[in-house]
Structure 1
Amino acid sequence: MRNPIRLKNLNLRFLPLYLAGAGLLIFFPPPRWQFALALPPILIGAGLRGWGAGHLVKNHELTTTGPYAHLRHPLYLGTILAASGFGVLVGGWISVAVLALIWPWFALHYFPRKERSESARLESLHGQRFARYRAAVPALRPRLRAWHDARQPQDEGGGGGWALERYSENNELGTLLAILAGVMLFWLRTRGGSV
């Protein structure tokens, strides 16, 4: 299993974000009702990310199994759900400000840029199969029925079933640990504990 701590996330450029988060947690502990409201999107987001990471085979195959049969970007949707849950945890006007920053930044800057670059790369690697997939499967809004490529044999869905090895290769354990640490810190603060 890979080391779950991604050193790129310990970069000094993230220090202001870490300090802001610590300050909010120290000076604005969330009430318990807010914790209960924020926990579902955090858990759903973490679960969606874990499900997707266990299916994702980068570059070698076009992954269309698991959550990828329902939406093209389960990791991004899981991230924005978890981030929104943490935004709600902050509470009050700060919560509104955090969400007012997170959603437009994601929708107008981050996701469109990633969608363009990743789609171009996948189309160059997988050609018409990716074009069919992209036309049939929404980016972030899950379709109810799983997509299957009618022109592809059933056993070539790209990636197969969920695998712990892929989960590890995609560095998802570090993300899960970060989410759990954040939830635990907020939970301690809702109970009046110190950080």
Structure 2
Amino acid sequence: MRGGYANFIVHNRKGTLLISTAHIKPKHWGSEPAAFQPSAIHQWLARRRITISLVGFTTLVLFNVFVMQTIPRNPLAITSLGSLAGSGLLWIGLAVRSWSAGTLNKSRELTMVGPYSLVRNPLYVGSFMMMMGFCILCRDWPTMLFVAGPMSYLYWKQVRFEEDKLSRMFPLQWDDYIQSTPRFVPVRLNRAVLGGWSLFEWQRNREHQAVVASLLGVLGIWAWFVLRTST
């Protein structure tokens, strides 16, 4: 038998025949290759993406500071195109993240308003902009390559994992949503973009941590710039 359904006949006390159906699993099935190995890899990467990102990011930044001894851009300068580009990407990315975090209802409903009416993954878009902004301010090209390469791959795996999960959680809405909303790059505006933001959701999703971290990061870059240019 290759596996399938088999019928069993059972007698109850009254003599009535009860017919039940059971699924039979052949013994050789246990020796087949694991069907969910890709998903297991995706889950492993998803669980550890923050750790992998922090280790890689920190290592490259320390290399840039102590080995390359790079002089960063002044994040407060308004006459430098490089500083304006880096700061602009950083603060716009943070604004996109805050907008997204204040609109997102995690696992309770499929969020399709606010930034989620423009792209399906606005939090990752904002995060990517912030990381590139920091790299420009730090003149850190090795880390920029790390962000554009390995980190982009990790977050791409995370996006695929999350979208697969959402498609199973919200099957009635998902197909229409992905047909009308791109993953990362918006193609059109709509009325839904104006709704859905809540300070309560912003706080519940702990987005204030990103704001504090960004302010400390900019302060650190400024102190680094002052230290390197005053010696």
TM norm structure 2: 0.65
Choose between structure 1 and 2: higher strand proportion: 2
* 2:117 pairs with 1:73: no
Q: Once structures 1 and 2 are overlaid, which stretch shifts more, 54-63 or 160-169?
A: 160-169
Q: How many percent of aligned residue pairs carry the same amino acid?
A: 24
| C-alpha distance 128-101 of structure 1, shift in aligned 2 (>3 A) | same
Work out whether residues 25 and 186 of structure 1, in 8 Å CA contact, stay in contact via their aligned partners in 2.
no
The aligned runs of 1:114-193 (5 Å cut-off) are 114-146=158-190, 161-192=196-227
Which residue of structure 2 aligns with residue 47 of structure 1? 95
Paired with 1:57 and 1:186, the residues of 2 have a C-alpha distance of 34
| C-alpha distance 188-177 of structure 1, shift in aligned 2 (>3 A) | same
Paired with 1:77 and 1:115, the residues of 2 have a C-alpha distance of 11
Deviation, 1:139, is 0.6
Paired with 2:53 and 2:218, the residues of 1 have a C-alpha distance of 23
Work out whether residues 70 and 147 of structure 1, in 8 Å CA contact, stay in contact via their aligned partners in 2.
no
| C-alpha distance 53-9 of structure 1, shift in aligned 2 (>3 A) | same
Residue aligned with 2:170, SS: helix
Aligned with 2:83 (options 7, 11, 35): 35
Paired with 2:112 and 2:169, the residues of 1 have a C-alpha distance of 15
Residue aligned with 1:141, SS: coil
Q: Deviations over 1:81-138 (max 9, x none)?
A: 00001111221xx42x22222112244x223311221111111111131111111101
The one-letter amino acid of 1:21's match is V
Structure with larger RCO (C-alpha < 8 A, sep 6+): 1
TM norm structure 1: 0.76
User: Which segments of structure 1 move beyond 6 Å, counting only runs of 4 or more?
Assistant: 8-13
Structure possessing the higher radius of gyration over alpha carbons: 2
Paired with 2:146 and 2:52, the residues of 1 have a C-alpha distance of 21
Q: Please tell me the root mean square deviation across aligned C-alpha atoms, in Å.
A: 2.9
Q: Identify unmatched segments of 5+ residues in structure 2.
A: 1-47, 75-79
